[in-house]
């Protein structure tokens, strides 16, 4: 099962990833995190979840964000990542900020947020 959701800020994305990391009954094939000026996109490719686990996770995601229908550019980015292209190559080709791809990881998102805020000198709402 594939989950694709949009979130308004980084705190919500971090909560979703922390939930995955603390739930051994929710193994993933990969997790992709993309930052956009108007928010965040999280894609979770589930690996063998039960129907109950799928329903519970979907309900959890709906509390934090909204289901996302990608435009052509984002769809191409997600497909390229799934096909094994490196995040750096994908970012260069599509001019999209791929923050993380692979195992669910909080450190890459936190590092991106800190560097972005430091560079701007303030914290935009999407990075709160």
When divided into structural domains, the chain yields a total of: 1
Mean pLDDT value across residues 51-79? 96
Which pLDDT value is given to residue 125?
Answer: 78
Whether the predicted pLDDT of 127 surpasses 80: no
Question: Strand runs (DSSP E) across 8-96, as ranges?
Answer: 28-36, 39-46, 66-67
The model carries a pTM of 0.92
Range of the domain at 58: 2-127
Give the count of alpha carbons within 13 A of 123, CB side only.
10
- Do 62 and 95 contact (CB within 8 A), yes or no? no
- Do 13 and 33 contact (CB within 8 A), yes or no? yes
Which pLDDT value is given to residue 105?
Answer: 87
Which domain CATH number covers 79?
A: 3.30.70.1950
Q: CA torsion 53→55→60→63, rounded to 10°? A: 180
């Amino acid at each position: 099962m594939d989950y694709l959701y949009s979130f308004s800020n980084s705190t919500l994305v971090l909560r979703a990833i922390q939930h995955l990391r603390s739930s051994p009954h929710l193994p993933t094939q990969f997790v992709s995190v993309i930052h956009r000026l108007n928010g965040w996109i999280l894609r979770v490719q589930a690996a063998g979840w039960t129907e109950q686990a799928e329903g519970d996770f979907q309900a959890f995601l709906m509390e934090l964000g909204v289901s996302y229908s990608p435009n052509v550019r984002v769809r191409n980015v997600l497909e390229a990542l799934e096909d094994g292209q490196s995040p750096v190559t994908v970012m260069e080709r599509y001019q999209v900020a791929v923050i993380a791809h692979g195992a669910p990881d909080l450190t890459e998102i936190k590092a991106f947020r800190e560097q972005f805020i430091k560079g701007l000198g303030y914290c935009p709402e999407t990075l709160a």
